[in-house]
Structure 1
Amino acid sequence: MMSQLSLTARQRYHALQTRVAQTYGVGSAREEFNVEPSLAQTLNDKITLSSAFLQRINVIGVSEIKGEKVMLGVNGTVTGRTDTDTKEREPRNVLGLDGKGYELHDTHSDVTLKFATIDAWAKFKDFAERYAAVRRQIALDRIMIGWHGVKVAPNTDRVAFPLLQDVNKGWLQIVREQAAQQLLVEGATKGKICIGIGGDYVNLDSLVFDVSLMIDEEFRDGGDLVAIIGRDLLAHDKGKLYAKQGHTPSEKQKVELAQVIDTYGGLPSYTCPHFPAKGVVVTSFDNLSIYFQDSSWRRYLLENPKRSRAEDYNSRNEGYVVEQLGKFAGIEAGNVEFVEPPPAEPEA
């Protein structure tokens, strides 16, 4: 038996459809429509604003599916002097043109809402705002793909790849393919990066410092590098501090007040949703980008009584970019292991 929306819920949902149509300047949102580039940027901005991390990086609308990178930084110095009595001044081309462009892929963010849920929400005045939670999930999906994406599958499989690994190639995969030397894969133990006394790195601080040295020298002193660190590494490091000092209440308080995740390897540290739990990446926020084709965003709101639900179809061409490969360094999180010191010998 097909379920129907209640009268109040239908009024709320139709009001939402009308509002969406008016926002995008189309006659109806009940058939697929193409979002104008300027309005696609507005929609994208709303998605970006729902995530603190996306607000720090670049999320940029571009006109072509393939092309040169947009946010190219300066690579090298520009200041000097020329004796113009003997030769002409020669300006330097210092843009980081590495010949590695970008490519966007068709990306779908399609969601459903059960009629029962719409009925429950219909009594709230902020119905449209509740529905806008979809934007938050699109933002989180973008971040997840950025850190875990390894391929572009014609048909994605959410069961086999729950971290959306098959939707697009994210930042780490781009570096694997285009600048493999910027990723630490193993330490002295083949296939492993061991952290702890007796391991490759005695602590997280020394690991982050070593990773920072993998950044090309011209980028190291720009003052904008940060260390993005996974939650398991942070928890392990903080746990060691508690084990050492947590038995003393005043010392435990100092650990909390110091916010021990502030600095590692001499760099301000940061973590974000869906970052690999044992991962480390050193880069600048503006070196990470998501490009979308501003003329490709399409949307379609549909009632489907056969499935007792409303459906919202979103599609656009999208891709990931590391603007300057030499300004990115990281580790293969899957190879990290914690090494605990051997137990102390019993006293004679």
Structure 2
Amino acid sequence: MTNSNGTTKYAILQQAFAKVYNAPKGASSFTIEPSAAQSINEKITAKSDFLERINIVPVSEIKGEKVMFGVTGPVTGRTDIRIKEREVKDFSSLENNTYELSSTESDVSLPYAKIDSWAKFPDFHKRYSDAVQKQIALDRMMIGFRGTHNAAQTDIETFPMLEDVNKGWLQQAREKVPSQVLSQGLEAGKISLGEGGDYANLDALVYDVTRLIDDNLRDSDLIAIIGSDLLAHDKAVLYAKQAGTPTEKERIESAQVVSTYGGVPSFSVPFFPVNAVLVTSWDNLSIYFQDTSWRVLMLENPKRNRVEDYNSRNEGYVVEQFGKIALAENVELV
């Protein structure tokens, strides 16, 4: 390295990580214990408000049945036991009830020069791990909303939004429940939004998307995730209508004018497509990871003047109940 202080800091970084992961002293490669893997995932989740709202679930198998339990209809009734015995009702959703995880890598390089410049901070290893965990959190959101396929060899240049890392929630909806995905209106290939379009306003669009949810699952926990372009357009329309009325403009800025669309609370989430609307519930979206699969390798690569930090695990994106998800995409503003 460029100086001994940087070398010392790398040694401290390696020792600190080994201690956290309960690895043998001096080890550069190790499998993380399930309890430590859970702790790492909790820290990653804490870096994102969105991830804290959905399910991050440790599982023991690469393939299996979904963990979260939901029912698809009423379970309450009455039996005249003089005539027949009571019978249990199995309303758990059996269709599309399995998950499959994929090998996922988050590999990071740390140039010697950066280690040297960070060497003055006593909490150097924490600053480094926080930065990596935050990026993994962002990557998980990106894959969840943008992932379309699972490539044997990913290509960040061709798929800069990590579309080829895994199938996200939206892609699974397209494939598993295409009847619950709106992608065109009167004109093929798009849904027009605005005066004279397929939908006059965002309220009407969100309401129609909500109607695609299974009747038995339209309970009080539904939410709408709305693309930033659609929200910006709707706010612009409100500004135009309230022009010259400062009090109303102030209410718009504080998000008090429209708190719901189509009767459901609405949110904006990073990396969600700018021209789409998703209606579901927070607990219907999950990320599963295999708790025994998280592996770490840290090593120096003097040929490239850097330290290399390799992280791998098996994880996947899960829609718990497909009857409780609906999507509108390809929305164009009139």
Give TM-score scaled by structure 2 length.
0.96
1:163 aligned partner: 161
How far does residue 319 in structure 1 lie from its aligned partner after superposition?
Answer: 0.8
Residue 183, structure 1, aligned to residue 187, structure 2: no
From 47, 54, 65, the equivalent of 2:51 is 54
Retained in 2: the 8 A contact 1:292–1:317? Answer: yes
What CA distance in whole angstroms lies between the structure 2 residues aligned with 1:15 and 1:261? 51
1:228-265: CA deviations, max 9, x gaps?
11111111100111122133222212322343452111
DSSP 3-state at the match of 2:95 = coil
RMSD across aligned C-alpha pairs, in angstroms?
A: 1.3
Conserved 8 A contact 2:183-2:331:
no
Structure 2 unaligned blocks of 5 or more: none
Unaligned runs of 5+ in 1: 340-348
Code of the residue aligned with 2:120 in structure 1: it is K
Q: 2:273 aligns with which of 255, 265, 276?
A: 276
Instruction: Find the counterpart in structure 1 of residue 332 from structure 2.
Output: 337
> 2:239 maps to which residue?
242
CA distance in 2, matches of 1:29, 1:311: 16
Counterpart check, 1:173 vs 2:159: no
TM-superposed CA distance for 1:62, in Å, is 0.8
Work out the CA distance in 2 between the residues paired with 1:37 and 1:257: 43
Q: Taking every aligned residue pair, what percent have the same amino acid on both sides? A: 58
Q: Matches of 1:233 and 1:260 in 2, distance apart?
A: 16
Kindly provide the CA deviation profile for residues 24-54 of structure 1, in whole angstroms up to 9, marking residues without a partner as x.
1111465321111222111111111111111
Q: Which runs of 4+ in 1 moved over 6 A?
A: none
Secondary structure at the aligned position of 2:61 is classed as coil
The structure-2 alpha-carbon separation of the partners of 1:181 and 1:28, relative to structure 1 and needing over 3 Å to count, comes to: farther
User: Are residues 22 and 129 of structure 1, via their aligned partners in 2, closer, same or farther at CA, if it must alter by over 3 Å?
Assistant: closer
- State the AA in 1 paired with 2:8: Q
**Inter-partner Cα distance in structure 2 for 1:130 and 1:233:** 36
Kindly provide the amino acid, as one letter, of the partner of residue 231 in structure 1.
S
For residues 137 and 324 of structure 2, the distance between their equivalents in structure 1, rounded to whole angstroms, comes to: 24
Q: 1:260 to 1:137 in 2, by over 3 A?
A: farther
Q: Deviations over 1:174-233 (max 9, x none)?
A: 11111111110111111110000000000111100110000000011x211000111111
Matched AA of 2:45: T
